[in-house]
Structure 1
């Protein structure tokens, strides 16, 4: 039987006991909380991988093949397929604006964000009878909320009073409605399409940087489905043989397709997890690459990993290093999957588009980190995707725990980047390729005209600049060498 979902102590209220003092009883503590508390002593942390490095590399070189084509779409122009044909009405989950954050994350049967899975979003409405979405709540919102209640957010101006009020409520265990936190995270505007709209319209939105589209019943504002970038990429991958213009792109290598960007934000593995969460919140990112001192990719942290922190006894992990947290993520994922897990969030300039898309689909990721790779030809020099322009997280950790920062003083043993399974099969970070880049390519190849995804990224950078602390700005403008 599956273990129960981890509980978000209402709402992340201060714990008076350290993790080592909490009872290790499965009847009173969720599995994930117990795992996080005992990570340092867990025999899994000393387990040897189930596969050799060569076996892992073989798996990465030969990712899962596409599924059999769906006969419903054979012989059709994918651009004229209706968005309503791709949605699953059961994926639409609702919460009311006056529900507490705890209710939106785990309490109500219809609003289990932690266990929801794709598309990892809850729609918000004024009252239970409404079918109009007024907003969304996802892991980026949960990350922003967590940073506020533990006193690690970076408010400015009029935000200071709002953040202080939320932190005080969290410290006192007062219920906080979703209405009060839905604007903490940086969000893109809600985009809706009628169910009869063609996929050509959806892919133009996605290729311009929109991550999800709400699908409405024709002629109404009633939301009946959610179409995400990943769902559309998976659809085009699984049915690629039916769509010749797209299928022709899959054998090409990334270097020749000229997609992706060298402007990459990463964080050193020695930095704390709280620094990584602050970085993603400040920059409006859903994931960030974790690198060693030589910029080799050693892992990936995403906002979805915040689910491992939804119990107050897990909050000391905020002070652990990013590398330590990656070991927690991999071991936890291995427990859930019944096998050991490896970081596979990277490709190289000589990876084919098929290889890249297969890995995105298999890992349900929004982006792949592009790393250096030797040229396949012995006579040719190594050719990265582009010269990297890398911004490191250079946040300084708080000098002391604030009143709203419960039990964050625990220290964790250092974990070597080289000790992580699969760490030596990546390479130096040189760029990133996202679902947006891939869908933009598909749109252009099919004669459509999406906006430039780089324009969307530039707007996000400008919108985030006011909330980023001066120490981070100075790091952004400095050299690409790692700072300590």
Structure 2
């Protein structure tokens, strides 16, 4: 089955309808002032969950990849060479989504590029730098267009966090004090969701709100009945990387090619943690089924299929249950199964949508009347057109070039060859 066919298995829209007058109303508090007042008094700096780890802008992208793994962090702040005496010493961030975007770009540079990359100055700069054999990390910062640098003042509240996250951002850097060049660390979207989940244990209002099922939450960004980005078990790892880069997503569903049933999921973090330290490039031509078994074997995965699938909910799942599953699985998104039970048991051909951490935080933003909620804003901005065929030729060629060196170093060499 080719990549186009694999995508068509699940990139479909499933519609749903309710008989007139049978759809229950969502429960919302009659007065949200208590929540607004409470969250307005909670300081963002008290929710910091990620340390600030910095690297110099001129280090190589390979060194930056190694720094991500060595520091066991999800994001690096890139320090400007002109940082002394500046109020904002960082030029941007670098995370696993950027790693995936860079690896995909280098591996497929010799084939037709997606439309948005053809005249992209960032790609041109990376290609030019590759002629020297060294691509500085500053050129790869936010290559994924999922990882912008967002900064909040030291006295910012939880409401400010909700406002930023409801625009699709995944992490925010907090100042040590107003106007200072020092910073305390990051608040991630998952960190805020975890805080809100804990807060709900003492809030009767949120406990009632958590009982609402997903299908009754009105925000359109909850894609319960929308297209799903997925690949089959016989896709290669490079296919999955390319799909995530082209579609601007951080994970893809892994499905049965014949039925479309959800088997597992893989993310940019899963891939980077395996590809970066790998001694050769053969992992890129490994099938997704093999890769899932390799990565998730400690969690009970055999032959590419989870023994206990944990990546799905369904439209009738309560919001509270969905939040708990997002946190328990350490996932940024769950896949929606239109025929699954509330506990997530899967049937065949039932994959119908997604719900993400940002979607859920947008619900909280809506609950306290934050304006301009648009969790799909960044996704629309980074939407890519589908690349033309040729990824298999590129992957095979890459495998031959990568047999004796790490994929990151080999891909820099690949980009260098193309640039010349």
SS for the counterpart of 2:310 is coil
SS in 2 for 1:263: coil
Q: Which residue of 2 aligns with 1:295?
A: 260
Q: Tell me by how many angstroms 1:253 deviates.
A: 1.6
CA shift in 2, pair 1:198/1:157, >3 Å:
closer
> Post-superposition shift, 1:185?
2.5
Contact 1:148 1:166 in 2 (8 A): no
C-alpha contact 2:54 2:77 (8 A) present in aligned 1:
yes
Structure 1 counterpart of 2:30 = none
Tell me how far apart the structure 1 counterparts of residues 77 and 163 of structure 2 sit (CA, whole Å): 23
Structure 1 residues 100, 205: CA separation in 2 closer, same or farther (over 3 Å shift)?
same
Is the partner of 2:48 in helix, strand or coil? coil
Q: Does 1:231 align with 2:191?
A: yes
**1:275-319 Cα distance to aligned partner (Å, 9 max, x none):** 110111122211111222322111111110121011353521211
Q: How does 1:347-362 map to 2 (within 5 A)?
A: 347-362=313-328
Cross-structure match for 1:445: 367
Task: State how far apart, in whole Å, the 2-side matches of 1:269 and 1:287 are.
Answer: 14
Shift of 1:163: 5.3
1:100 — aligned with what?
60
CA distance in 2, matches of 1:251, 1:187: 31
- In structure 1, the partner of 2:269 is 304
Q: State which of 96, 113, 126 in structure 2 corresponds to 1:139.
A: 96
Describe the shift of the 1:326–1:80 C-alpha distance in structure 2 as closer, same or farther (beyond 3 A).
same
Structure 1: distance between partners of 2:377 and 2:79: 31
| Contact 2:365–2:373 (Cα < 8 Å) also in 1 | no
Unpaired segments ≥5 residues, structure 1: 1-73, 107-111, 377-421, 473-484
Match of 1:256 in 2: 216
Q: TM-score, normalised by structure 2?
A: 0.71
Taking a change above 3 Å as real, the CA distance of residues 189 and 177 of structure 1, as seen in their structure-2 partners, is closer
**Counterparts of 1:423 and 1:165 in 2: how far apart (Å)?**
50
CA–CA separation in structure 2 for the residues paired with 1:311 and 1:347: 33
Which sits farther off after the overlay, 180-189 or 300-309? Answer: 180-189
CA contact (8 A) 2:165 2:358 kept: yes
Distance 1:374 1:156, change over 3 A: closer
Superposition deviation, residue 423 in structure 1: 9.1
CA contact (8 A) 1:298 1:423 kept: no
Q: Deviations over 1:388-410 (max 9, x none)?
A: xxxxxxxxxxxxxxxxxxxxxxx
Q: Structure 1, residues 164-193: CA drift from partner, whole Å, max 9, x if none? A: 545555xxxx44321232253324542211
3-state SS of paired residue (2:228):
strand
TM value normalised by structure 1: 0.62
CA contact 1:371–1:430 (8 Å) conserved in 2: yes
CA separation of 1:314/1:428 partners in 2, compared to 1, >3 Å: closer, same or farther?
Answer: farther
**Does residue 114 of the first structure (1) align with residue 69 of the second (2)?**
yes
Cα drift, residue 330 of structure 1? 0.8
The question of whether the paired residues in 1 share the 8 Å contact of 2:255 and 2:264 is answered with: yes
CA distance in 2, matches of 1:431, 1:99: 40
SS in 1 for 2:59: coil
Summarize deviations over 1:253-272 as a string: whole Å, max 9, x none.
21222451123222233221
Q: What's the counterpart of residue 278 of structure 1?
A: 242
Instruction: Please name the residue that 1:66 is paired with.
Output: none
- Counterpart of 1:125 in structure 2 is 79
Does 2:199 correspond to 1:199? no
1:433 counterpart = 2:393: no
Q: Please tell me whether residue 319 in structure 1 is matched to residue 285 in structure 2.
A: yes
Q: Provide closer, same or farther for how the CA distance between residues 183 and 126 of structure 1 changes in structure 2, counting only shifts above 3 A.
A: same
The runs of 5 or more residues in structure 2 that have no matched partner are 1-34, 391-420
| Structure 1 pair 98–276 and aligned structure 2 pair: CA distance change class (3 A) | same
Are the structure 2 counterparts of residues 177 and 75 from structure 1 closer, same or farther at C-alpha, using a change threshold of 3 Å? closer
**Counterpart secondary structure, 1:235:** helix
Alpha-carbon distance in structure 1 between the residues aligned to 2:237 and 2:273: 13
How many residue pairs were aligned? 335
Cα shift at 1:195: 1.9
* Among candidates 303, 312, 321, match of residue 346 of structure 1: 312
CA gap 1:358/1:288 in 2 versus in 1, 3 angstroms = same
Q: For residues 197 and 323 of structure 2, what CA distance do their matches in structure 1 show?
A: 7
SS in 2 for 1:204: helix
How much does 1:158 deviate? 6.0
Q: 1:330 to 1:343 in 2, by over 3 A?
A: farther
Contact 1:330–1:341 (CA under 8 A) maintained in structure 2 = no
Provide closer, same or farther for how the CA distance between residues 343 and 327 of structure 1 changes in structure 2, counting only shifts above 3 A: farther
Residue number in structure 2 paired with 1:83: 44
